Amino acid sequence: MAAANAYYSLAELAERFGLQARGIARIHGVATLSRAGQGELAFLANPLYRKELAGSSAAAVILREEDAALAPCPVLVARDPYVAFARIAALFEPATESTRGIHASAVIDPSAQIADTASIGPLCQIGPHVRIESGAVLGPGCIVGAGCTVGEGSVLVARVTLVTSVCLGKRVRIHPGAVLGADGFGLAMEAGQWIKVPQLGGVVVGDDCEIGANTCIDRGALDDTRLGEDVRIDNLVQIGHNVQIGAHTAVAGCAAIAGSARIGRYCLIGGGVGIVGHLSICDKVILTARSLVTHSIDQPGQYSSGVPLQESRRWRRNAARFRQLDELARRVLKDARNNNNDKDPSSS
Amino acid sequence: MAAANAYYSLAELAERFGLQARGIARIHGVATLSRAGQGELAFLANPLYRKELAGSSAAAVILREEDAALAPCPVLVARDPYVAFARIAALFEPATESTRGIHASAVIDPSAQIADTASIGPLCQIGPHVRIESGAVLGPGCIVGAGCTVGEGSVLVARVTLVTSVCLGKRVRIHPGAVLGADGFGLAMEAGQWIKVPQLGGVVVGDDCEIGANTCIDRGALDDTRLGEDVRIDNLVQIGHNVQIGAHTAVAGCAAIAGSARIGRYCLIGGGVGIVGHLSICDKVILTARSLVTHSIDQPGQYSSGVPLQESRRWRRNAARFRQLDELARRVLKDARNNNNDKDPSSS
Amino acid sequence: MAAANAYYSLAELAERFGLQARGIARIHGVATLSRAGQGELAFLANPLYRKELAGSSAAAVILREEDAALAPCPVLVARDPYVAFARIAALFEPATESTRGIHASAVIDPSAQIADTASIGPLCQIGPHVRIESGAVLGPGCIVGAGCTVGEGSVLVARVTLVTSVCLGKRVRIHPGAVLGADGFGLAMEAGQWIKVPQLGGVVVGDDCEIGANTCIDRGALDDTRLGEDVRIDNLVQIGHNVQIGAHTAVAGCAAIAGSARIGRYCLIGGGVGIVGHLSICDKVILTARSLVTHSIDQPGQYSSGVPLQESRRWRRNAARFRQLDELARRVLKDARNNNNDKDPSSS
């Protein structure tokens, strides 16, 4: 694991991040409980890993008060060890080297406005009327099409494509292969042929958003597709035209949100979740992995769909019965009615 | 929203597109019902948005006869308002600026044949024996490998990869990040090691197809992978080797079609649908979002799979019972037999 | 189909690959049963295609002993016809033309070490402290970021991105659009804002792995994300940070494996399968298409989830009943108890 040259005492870290230090250690890097060695700080947040604590060779561990007694080494006690770890690990991140200015191999339209403090990497292509604001960094191979804006301090890691009419806020981070501003999937059938419905809107991405590798966010058909501030999108996610996602919502890998869906603030959309178009999901909704949402949700809470994994031999028998579930239910309810002792649960 | 300088009277639009105009308006752009203002034309096709009609500030609205009375403004009456809107919106699409000829930064194999009227953008790479036909446009960063053909008037928006042996028809449009002609997933196990099965076929794409961002269409193993004319594919779709898709079929985002599947004409494949390999789906089949197809379908119609979303707490109890569904069904049917009044629904 | 100029007699092929030849033929290419013509060798492995054997115009067919009598032409009898076909087809693969050395348009950091026998294609970008070993081939448009290694004989077909800290073994093959080494999706919530958890690990890919188009493999958070040798990954697959995949496991298209999951050796992960994070799957597990794994699996075998496809009209009634499945089960079991003749199957 990469580590800078800096050393920090446990006491310094405790003071800096509002934690409580017990014991003395000098820290020069971070690692997992099972791998950490001399001078390395580990953390215990997920209870799954509690069993690794006693045997850890870490110089110190960040953990909750209730786990402190189990640690074989000095500790930093934190209310939220994962947050504390994130803060401290950032001290040891190697600085990324980006050179101010425009690489000689980049191809820049003369009408583009590029801030002096921005960095445009090798083999980038910047189209007409683009604006790249101060401190923005474009890694190698990025394409920024006509009329796009990359806000202050935003980073396109490498090979990002902003097709057209994309406006990124400040400190947005986009990973390789992501495509923002491609045409939405707008089709109308006429006389047995598809007609392409013109896609004329843009994509607006709020401050502090992060967008994963090979994720697609289509431009709006008429209005814009919009992400609020601090929205976090993982890899290979599809976001259709005119979708709106509220601030601080996180979307895990391979999720797909169809056109014109509106997602609230502080939602957690699990991996592989599907959301059909033209519906609304209110704030603070959690969708577990691979759920499919076909109706609007207007109550915060956690929602799921799907059936559990089984050995294929047993699963096949159960799955076959699903085809007769309505018929079976009718029999059960008829028996119940005949026994005169109950009512249809579907009416409850 | 972008708009050209042109103005059209409602009467002109009606005549041009075979619609019926009621009232007088001058139109210089298009917008949604809720956002349209002075000089902007909106449309009402999806009944979900009917409630926005009365309050719209649009200069005019395209709608069906039955909605006309509700409009607070002049209207264009259309049998299919979405088609009419698509046609009219195209008038207001900003012209895309592509310069004929080959950008100085592009890298072109000397054996490639490029029509004079074609446009090859910055940082493209064109391999040996490629043919780029008249009027074709390659945006920035496209890669066209050995032996590929880009047909007349086709557009690779940006950063498209045609790996090898890909033949695009006329007026095909491909969005950024799409990869056509990569090796299919052909493996054989021998003595505990995988052997790669050579992938020797190509990809043939019919006229007027559209292919979305980051979509993959693999080359055939021996024969070609084939899309008929006017096939429309959304983003992040996977199409395996030797798949055949009939003309006018549309495939929504994140769908996956495994190797050697044959899909008919005029099918609608919903978002996230999965289709296993080596099966056939006849013409005019509709698959709703996230359905999984494991057997051939020989009757047109609409098909689905999956279970509905519920609050996780309730869902968990139902999902747990799925594991015993066969056992439960046996009990219900046994009771029925004991009561001598019914037969197994699986035999019906 | 592409074919080299070489001819082979059936007897030569039999000797070379340990097969049994019956009859005489001269072979100069390979094709499918239905398409093969003069001089072309076909194969019959999947019983689905047995019906095409009698009518085939192939010069010869590779098949199993039990199918030999049905062939209308000379045959090569093989224990595993697909393996034999893979071996023989490789003879007819056109040689890929890659020129040793570094293309003039590539942008190479001076600190990168590139073997003399390696090939760096047009418009590649190679960052600091990269090592490209002997015989490695980078097709056009590849990006190899700081500190990455591309092992001996590995091939990045085109437009592959290795972001940072990626180490590829020998003979690894990666298809276009794949992104290895992007940041994992590590977030912690503090005071209503997401904090990015630094991603400091790398990606280690064993010898002989193959990675499909537009697939993403994230770098580890602290430790590395690891693929054992001979792991085969299809297109559009998501592999989260710190995932470990054992040797010889194959992962089909659109599968998604969440962070810190550990997958065994010789597993077959079907298309679209989802695996949630922080769990273990033992060796030799088969997961059928679109299964979702939410718990660890410690027994080899085949597993599935999902419900079968039906006509939407019938499916809707069955799916609606799923919402009351627990309630229905309780009634059935209560009746059973009242009849005093059975026990709850959930306790079995």
Query: Does C159 reach chain A within 8 Å, measured CB to CB?
Result: yes
Shared-domain flag, residues C46 and C179: no
Selected catalytic residue, list B175, B241, B278, B295: B241
Choose from A156, A165, A204, A238 for mutation: most chain B CBs within 10 A.
A238
Residue contact B248–A159, C-beta within 8 A: no
Picking from A89, A250, A346, the nearest residue to C200 by CB comes out as A89
Shared-domain flag, residues B122 and B266: yes
Shared-domain flag, residues B52 and B153: no
pLDDT at A3 over 70: no
DSSP state string for C105-165: T-EE-TT-EE-TT-EE-TT-EE-TT-EE-TT-EE-TT-EE-TT-EE-TT-EE-SS-EE-SS
User: Do residues A56 and A33 lie in contact, with contact meaning Cβ atoms separated by under 8 Å?
Assistant: yes
Rounded Cα–Cα distance for residues B70 and B51 (Å): 10
Structural domain span for residue B342: 322-347
Quote the mean pLDDT of chain C.
94
A partners (3+ CB pairs within 8 A) are: B, C
Provide the residue type at A211 as one letter: I
Q: So what's the pLDDT on residue A348?
A: 41
Q: Is the pTM of the predicted complex or chain greater than 0.80?
A: yes
Residues facing A132 on adjacent strands: A114, A150
For residues C281-289, average pLDDT = 98
User: pLDDT, tens digit, for every residue of A49-98?
Assistant: 999 999 999 999 999 999 999 999 999 999 999 999 999 999 998 877 77
User: pLDDT, tens digit, for every residue of A274-331?
Assistant: 999 999 999 999 999 999 999 999 999 999 999 999 999 999 999 999 999 999 999 9
Q: Give the residue carrying structure tokens 């599968």.
A: C255
Q: A74-78, A334-338, C194-198: which has the minimum mean pLDDT?
A: A334-338
Q: So what's the pLDDT on residue A96?
A: 73
CB neighbours of residue B209 within 10 Å: 25
Q: If pLDDT is split at 50, 70 and 90, which confidence band does C95 have?
A: confident
Taking every pair of C-alpha atoms in chain A, what is the biggest distance, in angstroms?
85
Q: So what's the pLDDT on residue C341?
A: 52
User: Which residues of chain B fall short of a pLDDT of 70?
Assistant: 1-5, 339-348
> Looking at chain B, how many residues does it have?
348
Shared-domain flag, residues A323 and A265: no
User: pLDDT, tens digit, for every residue of A239-253?
Assistant: 999 999 999 999 999
CB contacts of A319 in chain C (<8 Å) are 304, 306-308
Shared-domain flag, residues B241 and B149: yes
Picking from C198, C305, C308, the nearest residue to A90 by CB comes out as C198
Q: So what's the pLDDT on residue A33?
A: 95
Say if A143 falls within a structural domain. yes
Query: Does B206 reach chain C within 8 Å, measured CB to CB?
Result: no
Whose CA is closest to A274, among B231, B321, C274, B248? C274
User: Do residues C180 and C201 lie in contact, with contact meaning Cβ atoms separated by under 8 Å?
Assistant: no
Say if B195 falls within a structural domain. yes
Q: So what's the pLDDT on residue A347?
A: 45
Q: If pLDDT is split at 50, 70 and 90, which confidence band does C100 have?
A: confident
Q: So what's the pLDDT on residue A335?
A: 74
Say if B223 falls within a structural domain. yes
Quote the mean pLDDT of chain B.
94
Q: So what's the pLDDT on residue C347?
A: 45
Choose from A175, A314, A330 for mutation: most chain C CBs within 10 A.
A175
Rounded Cα–Cα distance for residues B27 and B91 (Å): 11
Tokens of B146: 């050995």
Residue contact B222–C92, C-beta within 8 A: no
User: Do residues C346 and C326 lie in contact, with contact meaning Cβ atoms separated by under 8 Å?
Assistant: no
pLDDT at C306 over 60: yes
CB contacts of A98 in chain C (<8 Å) are none
Shared-domain flag, residues C81 and C218: no
End-to-end Cα separation, chain B, in angstroms = 57
CB contacts of A307 in chain C (<8 Å) are 305-307
Shared-domain flag, residues B218 and B136: yes
Shared-domain flag, residues B154 and B63: no
Q: Give the residue carrying structure tokens 């590590």.
A: C186
For residues C252-276, average pLDDT = 98
Active site residue B175: no
Q: Closest-CA residue in chain C for B202?
A: C1
User: Domain of B82: which CATH number?
Assistant: 3.40.1390.10
Whose CA is closest to A84, among A29, A36, A13, A33? A13
Cross-sheet strand order for the sheet of C250-251: A310-311, C301-304, C285-287, C268-269, C250-251, C232-233, C210-211, C173-174, C155-156, C137-138, C119-120, C101-102
Q: So what's the pLDDT on residue C2?
A: 40
Whose CA is closest to A199, among A221, A174, A166? A221
Question: Based on C-alpha coordinates, what's the Rg of chain C?
Answer: 26
Residue contact C177–B214, C-beta within 8 A: yes
Say if C323 falls within a structural domain. yes
CB contacts of A295 in chain B (<8 Å) are 309
Shared-domain flag, residues B114 and B253: yes
This complex has an ipTM of 0.94
Shared-domain flag, residues C257 and C337: no
Structural domains of chain C, count: 3
Q: So what's the pLDDT on residue B81?
A: 96
Say if B81 falls within a structural domain. yes
Last residue of one domain, picked from the residues C42, C62, C92:
C92
Say if A97 falls within a structural domain. no
Picking from B80, B308, B313, the nearest residue to A305 by CB comes out as B308
- ∠A65-A69-A71 over CA atoms, to 5°? 100
Say if A1 falls within a structural domain. no
pLDDT at A2 over 90: no
Query: Does B225 reach chain C within 8 Å, measured CB to CB?
Result: no
Q: Closest-CA residue in chain A for B346?
A: A324
Shared-domain flag, residues A135 and A188: yes
Calculate the alpha carbon distances from B297 to A321, B226, C144, C311 in Å: 20, 19, 45, 10
A contact residues 317-336, partner B, Cβ 8 Å cutoff: 317-318, 320-322, 324-325, 327-328, 331-332, 335
CB contacts of C177 in chain A (<8 Å) are 177, 214
How close is the nearest chain A Cα to the Cα of C49, in Å? 25
User: pLDDT, tens digit, for every residue of B76-125?
Assistant: 999 999 999 999 999 998 877 777 899 999 999 999 999 999 999 999 99
Q: If pLDDT is split at 50, 70 and 90, which confidence band does A5 have?
A: low
Say if C97 falls within a structural domain. no
pLDDT at A272 over 50: yes
CB neighbours of residue B18 within 10 Å: 10
pLDDT at C141 over 70: yes
User: pLDDT, tens digit, for every residue of C32-59?
Assistant: 999 999 999 999 999 989 999 999 999 9
Residues facing B141 on adjacent strands: none
Last residue of one domain, picked from the residues B74, B92, B110:
B92
- B309, HSE (Cβ side, Cα atoms, 13 Å): 23
Rounded Cα–Cα distance for residues C152 and C130 (Å): 13
User: Do residues B240 and B224 lie in contact, with contact meaning Cβ atoms separated by under 8 Å?
Assistant: no
Picking from B90, B307, B323, the nearest residue to A306 by CB comes out as B307
B partners (3+ CB pairs within 8 A) are: A, C
Contacts of A115 (CB under 8 A, 6+ apart): A132, A133, A134, A135, A136
The DSSP output letter for B346 is G
Shared-domain flag, residues B164 and B193: yes
How close is the nearest chain C Cα to the Cα of A2, in Å? 7
Last residue of one domain, picked from the residues B58, B92, B126:
B92
Selected catalytic residue, list C28, C103, C129, C241: C241
Rounded Cα–Cα distance for residues A58 and C260 (Å): 20
User: Domain of B187: which CATH number?
Assistant: 2.160.10.10
User: pLDDT, tens digit, for every residue of A28-53?
Assistant: 999 999 999 999 999 999 998 999 99
A contact residues 168-187, partner C, Cβ 8 Å cutoff: 173, 175-177
Choose from B108, B200, B276, B296 for mutation: most chain C CBs within 10 A.
B200
Provide the residue type at C291 as one letter: S
